[in-house]
Chain A
Amino acid sequence: QSALTQPASVSGSPGQSITISCTGTSSDVGGYTLVSWYQQHPGKAPKLMIYEVNKRPSGLSDRFSGSKSGNTASLTISGLQAEDEADYYCCSYVRSNTVVFGGGTKLTVL
Chain B
Amino acid sequence: QVQLVQSGAEVKKPGASVTVSCKASGYTFTGYYMHWVRQAPGQGLEWMGWINPNSGVTNHAQKFQGRVTMTRDTSISTAYMDLTRLRSDDTAVYYCARQYSSGLYFFDYWGQGTLVTVSS
Mutual binders A and B: yes
Across the interface, which residues of B come within 8 angstroms of A45, CB to CB? 95, 110-113
Q: Any chain A CB within 8 A of the CB of B61? A: yes
Across the interface, which residues of B come within 8 angstroms of A36, CB to CB? 105-107
The minimal Cβ–Cβ distance linking A28 to chain B, given in whole angstroms, is: 11
Q: Any chain A CB within 8 A of the CB of B72? A: no
For residues 28 through 44 of chain B, which have their beta carbon under 8 Å from a beta carbon of chain A?
Answer: 35, 37, 44
Cross-chain contact A48 with B106 (CB below 8 angstroms): yes
Interface SS of chain B? strand
Across the interface, which residues of A come within 8 angstroms of B106, CB to CB? 34, 36, 48, 51-52, 91
Classify chain B: how many residues form its interface, as a range: 20 to 34
Classify chain A: how many residues form its interface, as a range: 20 to 34
Bound together, the chains give a CA A46 to CA B95 distance in angstroms of 9
Across the interface, which residues of A come within 8 angstroms of B100, CB to CB? 48, 51
- Chain A residue with minimal CB distance to B100? A51
Interface SS of chain A? strand
Name 17 interchain pairs, CB-CB below 8 A, sorted by A: A34-B104, A34-B105, A36-B107, A38-B45, A47-B110, A51-B108, A52-B104, A52-B106, A89-B45, A91-B105, A91-B106, A96-B59, A97-B50, A97-B105, A98-B47, A99-B105, A104-B44
> Could you list which residues of chain B lie within 8 angstroms of chain A, going by C-beta atoms?
35, 37, 44-47, 50, 59, 61-62, 95, 97, 100, 104-108, 110-113
Given A36-B106, A52-B106, A89-B45, 7 additional A-B pairs, CB 8 A:
A1-B61, A36-B105, A38-B45, A46-B37, A51-B104, A98-B59, A104-B45
